[in-house]
Amino acid sequence: MLSPVTAAGTRCARALDAESLPAVVRDHLLERAGREPISGYVYDASVAASRARMLRAALPPWATLLFAVKSNGHAPVLRALLAEGGVDGLEVASAHEARLAATLLPAGAPLAAAGPAKHPQLLGELLDAGVTVLHAESELELRRISVAAQERGVRAAVALRVNPAEVAVTGTLAMGGRSSAFGIPEPDVPAAIEHALGLPGIDLVGFHMHAVSGNRDARAHAAYVGWVLDWSLETARTRGVDLRWVDAGGGLGVSYDGSPELDLAVLAEELDRLQPPAGVEVVLEPGRWLVNSCGWYAAEVVDIKDSYGQTFVIVRGGIGGYALPGTEDFPFPVAVLPREEWAGPGPRPERRTTAVTVSGELCTPEDVLVRDVVMERVRVGDLLVFPQAGAYGHEFALNAFLGHPVATRHVLAGTPVPGALSSPA
């Protein structure tokens, strides 16, 4: 947990002690640092598998649990999530993710596809990859899906993504209940249903509402799922839809700053009160909650310097390796992992009990990971390690700008995943 302190008149946060990191992560990083420059991720696949089993066990039997591949698309992590007792299937948002998912999923496992700007080529690639349900974002997209399906001699199972007029749950990011590029505005849904029912390549199976991300109020989230189910049942009844699929999205939040976590027991208790009718598959598709705690991002300190009263600790990678901290309005947790090796030249720069800004190697002032974090001691050559970096890390990074080496990804050895599926590397 980051503890607030006051330094130089600024409300700051204190860096974590290196001992807060798992010993196996520390040992792995220090061993690698002696051989190569460090900007990359370490994953513990057993943590991902454990989180998936924990959530799957908490959900009612009627719930289908998908994992949003956009949050972590590393194949070993996906295999861990898909191990026995874990997630039931995957949700993808690109042809690349769909092809990857197809190599990992067992026969018959659900594979949903969502996201805006699904152009004709992408829609064809999604169908070819075996996507079981396509979430449609507009009437034009419905027509494109119908054409692509007819070209392949099939009817595509489609759910309309709905942007509800009001959303009673809050989180760190809202995609519904407001103007948005995502989904069909609720007042326009009747016309979209009528349009979909008239298209020869479309089998309209239901609705998708992913309206919020980062919600940690379990009771409110369960109520939201119930509202999505009720809305879908009523809309299907009045509009003549053979309802078979209701996707309430993901949105389960995690805590980075020590504030209360989502109460899984309360979520389970509240969801268990819902009773979907037979034949209706109710889908939840979290990403971050499942994989956040299975990853660590590490970056080697390259330089330390002062500029007009502010101290900068400059690392390899930065937002080119891990961009997520710059998108949030609180400091992400970070630990200093000391390294004793120093080859010079000259004296080794260091700072003690100093509030610092951690910046990266890109030629832009936007390349900042955290600001105003007090570090008891930091030296050039040490490693800064960000825990809770298993979600929206490698996949979300600005890794093309300047062409620096892309952040590496390593899965810890010695953490086998019981019941993991056998699949290609």
Residue 278: is its pLDDT beyond 50? yes
The answer regarding whether domain 4-44+293-411 maps to CATH 2.40.37.10 reads yes
363 catalytic per annotation: yes
Q: Please, which pLDDT band fits residue 9 given cuts at 50, 70 and 90?
A: very low
Average pLDDT value over all residues in the chain: 91
> Which among 66, 25, 63 has a CA at the least distance from the CA of 293?
25
Residues of the chain with CATH 3.20.20.10: 46-292
List, in sequence order, every residue forming a beta bridge with 161; answer none if it has no partner: 208
CB 232 within 8 Å of CB 205: no
| pTM, to two decimals | 0.92
Sequence-distant (6+) residues with CB within 8 A of 50 are none
* 11 pLDDT tier (thresholds 50, 70, 90): low
Reported as a pLDDT band with limits 50, 70 and 90, residue 355 is very high
pLDDT score at 212: 72
What is the predicted pLDDT for the residue at 177? 56
Residue count of the chain, please give it: 425
Mean pLDDT over 377-398 rounds to 97
What is the predicted pLDDT for the residue at 263? Answer: 97
Question: Can you tell me the mean pLDDT for 189-194?
Answer: 98
pLDDT over 80 at 381, yes or no: yes
- Model confidence at 5, pLDDT cuts 50, 70, 90, reads very low
What residue ranges of the chain are covered by domains with CATH 2.40.37.10?
4-44+293-411
Marked catalytic residue, from 117, 278, 363, 425: 363
At the fourth CATH level, which superfamily is domain 46-292? Alanine racemase (3.20.20.10)
| pLDDT at residue 415, as a whole number | 57
> What distance in Å separates the CA atoms of residue 165 and residue 178, rounded to the nearest whole number?
7
Residue 397 scores a pLDDT above 90: yes
Rounded CA-CA distance 253/169 in Å is: 12
Reported as a pLDDT band with limits 50, 70 and 90, residue 207 is very high
Q: pLDDT of 149-181, one tens digit each?
A: 999 999 999 999 999 987 766 545 455 555 778
pLDDT in tens, 289-306: 999 999 999 999 999 999
